[in-house]
């Protein structure tokens, strides 16, 4: 009976692995030399969910390929870039969807995170889709201000779940990532 339970648990985990982030393209701002790029590369390489990194030094962009089945922390990516002394100019996450319904200005649980879709058409997402993270510290101040007109929910300004968006008993301190397609 114990073996049957373990097999069922393993099957459940493998089916849940379909909803995941596959890779990210991180544009780092402020890089001025090869040493800057190397420091950022090494910082990103230390993330436990990163399998491989491709670089485009002409555009100061790092493409992070994620390990399958390992949870990805969007904030950890930003933190590593900042720890190297730079900032994120743009972060595009590639996510694998399987019939996920999204609506404009609505929250969707995905891969252990909560995504707040903004400036999107109502649609069902299937396959790989690129999501641009539009939270503060992931876009310029001008872009952040522009996107702030797309919602009346306070969570966009704080990045945290508020009374406007709590559901299923989720804590008000839960992180929400605001994204657009």
| Count of beta carbons in the 10 Å neighbourhood of residue 77 | 24
Measured CA to CA, the distance from residue 162 to residue 129 in angstroms comes to: 27
Average pLDDT over residues 85-96: 96
Looking at residue 6, its pLDDT comes to 33
Q: Which residues have a Cβ under 8 Å from the Cβ of 37 and sit 6 or more positions away?
A: 31, 55, 57, 60
- What is the tens place of the pLDDT at every residue in 69-86? 999 999 999 999 999 999
Q: Report pLDDT digits (tens) over 114-147.
A: 999 999 999 999 999 999 999 999 999 999 999 9
Q: How far apart are CA 173 and CA 146, in angstroms?
A: 25
* Span 24-48, average pLDDT: 93
pLDDT at res. 170: 54
Sheet holding 50-56, edge to edge: 50-56, 61-66, 20-29, 87-102, 123-133, 176-180, 113-117, 106-110
Q: What pLDDT, on a 0 to 100 scale, did the predictor assign at position 26? A: 97
Looking at per-residue confidence, does 77 or 162 come out higher? 77
- For residue 9, is pLDDT > 50? no
């Amino acid at each position: 009976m114990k073996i049957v339970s373990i097999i069922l648990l393993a099957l459940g985990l493998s089916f849940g692995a379909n909803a995941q982030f596959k890779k990210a393209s991180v544009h780092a701002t402020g890089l001025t030399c090869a040493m800057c790029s190397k420091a950022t590369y090494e910082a990103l390489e230390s993330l436990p969910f990163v399998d491989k990194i491709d670089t485009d030094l002409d555009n100061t962009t790092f493409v992070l390929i994620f390990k399958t089945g390992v949870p990805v922390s969007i904030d950890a990516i930003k933190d590593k870039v900042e720890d190297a002394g730079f900032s994120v100019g743009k972060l595009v996450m590639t996510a694998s969807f399987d019939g996920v319904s999204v609506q404009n200005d609505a929250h969707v649980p995905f891969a252990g995170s909560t995504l707040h879709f903004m400036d999107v058409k109502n649609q069902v997402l299937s396959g790989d889709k690129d999501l641009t993270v539009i939270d503060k510290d992931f876009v310029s101040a001008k872009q952040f201000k522009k996107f702030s007109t797309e919602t009346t929910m306070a969570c966009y300004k704080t990045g945290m779940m508020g009374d406007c968006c709590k559901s299923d008993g989720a804590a008000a301190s839960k992180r929400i990532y605001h994204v657009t397609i």
